[in-house]
Structure 1
Amino acid sequence: MFAVVLDASDFFIIGFIAIIAASSLSVYLKPRDSSRLSRVEAKLDLLLKHAGLTFDPKAGVPAGVMEALERGNKIEAIKLYREATGVGLAEAKVFVEDLPARPKS
């Protein structure tokens, strides 16, 4: 009923879109990176322990951020972190959400 005719430029565009899609998916297909990061963190922990050093991830947190988190006010903590550091909303959100998950050393 309908005849579709594709010329060379159409195939080029389709191929280009397929290449872009495949390359963007490769970001999600790298599980070895997380295992590599875990190994590096374990080695760093061993080096710190061997040197007799302790690492407190909450030591560099601006004043008020931890208090806001302890009160359960994550939005206020993000706002305070942004004001103190000048980072964007996404970066501040990731930082504040990662704080409670960080181990106490």
Structure 2
Amino acid sequence: MVFSEIEIIVALIFGVVIGQSLSFKAIKSTVSTRTIDNKLDAIIDYLGVEFDPYKNIPLDILQSIKEGNRVKAIKLYRLHSGASLKEARSVIADLEERNKS
């Protein structure tokens, strides 16, 4: 059975998400999230896949940013994604910067 590049990427991302949500202390102590992100980035680059992490942001979050309601946007992002407060703040800040351009 041959898998396409997209199927492999989806499987890798799914594995990372599951691994992070299970919160294995042993994994967290030996492999940082940043290391996993770097490896995924290398795989995506190697396969030549274009990846835009902001492509499927829900409209209610984008609307909150457009209205200047940063706190609401962060809350909505956390609700939709399950992200930590720190991660949500970072994503919303990036989205705000992208919308200024």
Same fold (TM over 0.5): no
The structure with more radius of gyration: 1
Question: What TM-score results when the alignment is normalised by the length of structure 2?
Answer: 0.44
